[in-house]
Chain A
Amino acid sequence: MLLDFGVLLLYIVIACGFLTAALVAGRIIRPNKPYKDKLTTYECGEDTIGTSFIQFNVRFYVIALIFLIFEVEIVLLFPWAVVYKNVGLIALIEMGVFILILLAGFAYVWSQKDLEWVKSEIETEKEHGTNL
């Protein structure tokens, strides 16, 4: 078993080696003539305005949070799925309860309209009392 995981390590090393070899081979034959205009950040032909390290919309954070909860749940369910055939009905009921608790959270998120990618401005106003 350990040897099999050694193969995995070998594959990662070979992937990195292959990429390095391709880049080194490229470095020998490709031209390299950088100048100031070439190294500017691309912005549709205009001069780049400002930095791209900007504040980000909070909805990405909400999605990441929901994902985290579900993914941990799925990882917990993997061993359950493998032994399911041997345990039978009890496993089904127990996991049903477990999933239902999480689904309650999912329903809450849904009802709070956090799954809507585009929240209308009027609704945001209603929720927070001000126009954000």
Chain B
Amino acid sequence: MKEFIEHLYNELEFLEGLPFIIPFIIGSFILAFIIINFIAVFAGVCTYIERKVAARIQARVGPYMVGPHGILQWLADALKLLFKEDTVPEKADKLLFKLAPFIVFAGSFACWVALPLAPAFSPARLNIGILYIIAFGSSVILGILMAGWASSSKWALFGAMRSAAQIVSYEVPTGLTILAMLLITGTLDMHNTIAQINLDGTISGGQSQGLPFPLNYFSTNADNFSAGMFSWYIFRYPPFTFIAFIIIYICALAETNRVPFDIPEAESELVSGYHTEYSGMRFSFFFLSEYANMFVFSAIITTLFLGGWLPPFNITGSLLAPACGIILYMLVKGKTTDPANRFIAFCTGAGIGIFLGVLSGDKNYWFADYLGIQSLRFIEGLFWFFTKSFGLVILMMWLRWTIPRYRVDQLMELCWKKLTPLAFINLFCIGILEWLYK
């Protein structure tokens, strides 16, 4: 973000007299506002999608009444929460009770600062990015413990203690796995993690020149787009990086309190865990930060393993594939109701898209050149980053309705006796391989 504002600042004449800090603060503020609204909408849409996914898996219809196909259901829920009375129990520690949602929400929102959303574009470019995200993500535990303790309810306290023990335990394999990936990437900067991929020996695309003003900014930073999916870190040292991916994904489920590791809020034992006593708006912010956390974790995994904003195909016109897929899907949609046929149609369309891209043979994004908008790469990067992260979130929802809940002792055993030793072995193996093949 800073680089982009610097670019604007140097080029636009009417900003000449101002000190740099003013446009910088205004720009950052606008971006923060966009992101916070995105989180709110994202959490809402996630609840809708989760209910739809659940319904589909259990052969039901799901929310259907509010808006077409129930698509506005989340808005109705949000409004309902806004109108609900906000009760604070008499025995509760009032200050801590009210402070807890702030800490949980601010902790999960602050993690977004370091996420590399698109080429040369993240809210702030921190040189300690990944360490910072781990550190700030942990502040959620503090908020949860605070909520559970301050509620002065047994259910809330048990939920909070379990949650703290669980998150804290799974932090160990998460940290070890991230360390293993750091051996490969060699940088803490989330942005460089992706930007350096073409330096690692894959194809380096051409740079386009002579674009009109704000667009020329993006063209200089998007030269590793043709790297292809086998340049991603997950394919670096095959068995070990796959294992690392699986370990960190399991840990992500546990750290965001998702099923099968949702014992902190297991309804059948603990009513609803640490937010038993919360209602209305305060409750909804716990909910919101839970979904925001799911996305942050998926984004970390996307960056470290799945190549961040890089498209998966070895062509630069990567948007062609989903575009063709969606067009074909739309054409077939009216004619068949079988989801399998629709899926086949989408895949065929995507295949045609890839074929067209390969046929064009031009690494410099032929149709964008034709249209004269090379900053499509920015949109492309944004598209792929969010598609990958969102895919991982959907996978979390899918798992929720597939796997039954773990018991507390099974959960602790899985973490300390299986994942932690495995993560240590994995770290050691990747270390040796990195030393041999660097």
Could you tell me which A residues sit within 8 Å of B by CB distance? 1, 3-5, 7-8, 10-12, 14-16, 18-19, 22-23, 25-27, 29-34, 36, 38-44, 48, 51-54, 56, 60, 63-64, 66-67, 70-71, 74-75, 77-78, 81-82, 84-85, 88-89, 92, 95-96, 99, 103, 106, 110, 115-118
Contact = CB atoms under 8 A, between A and B. Distances in A.
B175 A74 contact: yes
Interface in B321-359: none
B82 A26 contact: yes
Contacts of B113: 7-8, 11
Interface in B183-234: 183, 186-188
Interface of B: 1-2, 21, 24-25, 28-29, 32-33, 36, 82-92, 101-102, 105-106, 109-110, 112-113, 123-127, 131-132, 151-157, 161, 164-165, 168-169, 171-172, 175-176, 179, 182-183, 186-188, 271, 276-277, 280-282, 285, 408-409, 412-413, 416-417, 420, 424, 428, 431-432, 434-435, 438
Contact of B412 (A11, A32, A63): A63
B2 to A, nearest CB: 6
A23 B124 contact: no
Given A4-B125, A19-B285, A11 B110 contact: yes
Nearest to B412: A117
A5 B126 contact: yes
B90 A40 contact: yes
| Dominant secondary structure at the A interface | helix
22 contacts: A3-B21, A7-B123, A7-B124, A8-B124, A11-B113, A12-B106, A12-B110, A14-B29, A16-B102, A19-B285, A33-B85, A39-B89, A40-B91, A54-B157, A67-B169, A75-B131, A81-B183, A85-B183, A85-B434, A88-B438, A92-B431, A96-B428
Contacts of A106: 420
Nearest to B32: A14
A92 B281 CA distance: 51
The main secondary structure of chain B at its interface with chain A is: helix
Contact of A74 (B101, B106, B179): B179
B424 A99 contact: yes
B89 A85 contact: no
B36 A18 contact: yes
Contacts of B86: 23, 26-27, 30, 32
A27 B431 CA distance: 55
A34 B87 contact: yes
A82 B244 CA distance: 18
A43 B186 contact: no
A40 B165 CA distance: 28
B424 A103 contact: yes
A82 B188 contact: yes
Nearest to B130: A78
A76 B432 CA distance: 19
B193 to A, nearest CB: 11
A117 B186 contact: no
Given A42-B153, A110-B417, 12 more contacts: A7-B28, A14-B32, A22-B281, A31-B85, A32-B85, A53-B152, A64-B168, A74-B175, A75-B131, A78-B182, A115-B412, A117-B408
B161 A60 contact: yes
Contacts of B280: 26, 30
B126 A52 contact: no
A111 B182 CA distance: 31
A30 B171 contact: no
B285 A22 contact: yes
Given A82-B187, A92-B432, A117-B413, A42 B277 contact: yes
A108 B300 CA distance: 33
Contacts of B164: 60
Contacts of A29: 82-83
